């Protein structure tokens, strides 16, 4: 795997209950799991979010075909820049699913896919904050995330933020 695409900082996320159909942003949809490392605390998430919202119109949703179904029936999707889709789906996601990726913190991805009942460590989405892409369980959830990112971009534009 190309060193440029090796994931390291993967933020675990849990879908909030009762999310709206028109989310204001990522925080309206997901709670961020506490990762316990300084890298997640000092600007990595906001920096990634700024980069993502700057090009979010070029993001696309792609179904993960191999090993992409959770025991609870939700399909696994990638949300990323359209120019990165092929590499992420073909090389990065299988590397994460294999459990062999050397990450700063655990993804709990295998448990989240294999569990039939949610546990404390199960997650619904993962955010590669170094490479600005997401892995999301559920078609509705991934589409709401894309919509929320666009809504956040629009809100920031009205407020004069970048």
pLDDT, one tens digit per residue, over 63-103 is 887 666 677 778 889 999 999 888 888 878 776 776 777 66
> How far apart (Å, rounded) are the C-alpha atoms in residues 95 and 84?
15
Question: What b-and-e string marks burial along 104-127, b requiring 16 or more CB atoms within 10 Å of the CB?
Answer: bbebbbeebbeeeeeeeebbbbbb
Q: Is pLDDT larger for residue 90 or for residue 140?
A: 140
pLDDT for res 9: 74
What SS3 state is found at 156?
helix
Q: Is pLDDT larger for residue 121 or for residue 6?
A: 6
**HSE (side-chain half, CA atoms, 13 Å) at 41:** 5
Locate tokens 């939700």: which residue?
74
Q: Once rounded to an integer, what is the mean pLDDT over residues 102-110?
A: 67
pLDDT for res 83: 93
> How far apart (Å, rounded) are the C-alpha atoms in residues 136 and 125?
4
Virtual CA dihedral for 24, 28, 29, 34, nearest 10 degrees? 140
pLDDT digit string, tens, across residues 16-67 = 888 878 888 888 888 887 756 556 566 788 899 999 999 999 999 998 876 6
| pTM of structure | 0.85
Domain count, the chain: 1
pLDDT for res 1: 37
pLDDT for res 3: 46
Alpha helices in 80-138 (DSSP H): 85-87, 93-97, 109-114
pLDDT for res 111: 65
What SS3 state is found at 98?
coil
Q: Which domain holds residue 86?
A: 3-159
């Amino acid at each position: 795997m190309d060193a440029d695409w090796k994931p390291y900082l993967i933020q675990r996320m849990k879908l909030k209950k009762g999310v709206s159909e028109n989310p204001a942003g990522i925080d309206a949809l997901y709670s961020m799991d506490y990762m316990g490392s300084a890298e997640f605390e000092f600007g990595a998430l906001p920096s990634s979010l700024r980069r993502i919202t700057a090009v979010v119109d070029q993001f696309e949703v792609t179904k993960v075909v191999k090993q992409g179904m959770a025991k609870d029936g939700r399909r696994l999707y990638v949300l990323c820049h359209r120019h990165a889709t092929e590499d992420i789906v073909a090389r990065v996601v299988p590397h994460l699913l294999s459990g062999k990726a050397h990450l700063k913190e655990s993804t709990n991805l295998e448990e989240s896919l294999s569990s039939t009942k949610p546990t404390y460590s199960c997650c619904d989405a993962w955010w590669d904050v170094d490479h600005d892409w997401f892995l999301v369980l559920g078609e509705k959830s991934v589409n709401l995330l894309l919509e929320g990112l666009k809504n956040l971009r629009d809100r920031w534009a009205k407020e004069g933020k970048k």
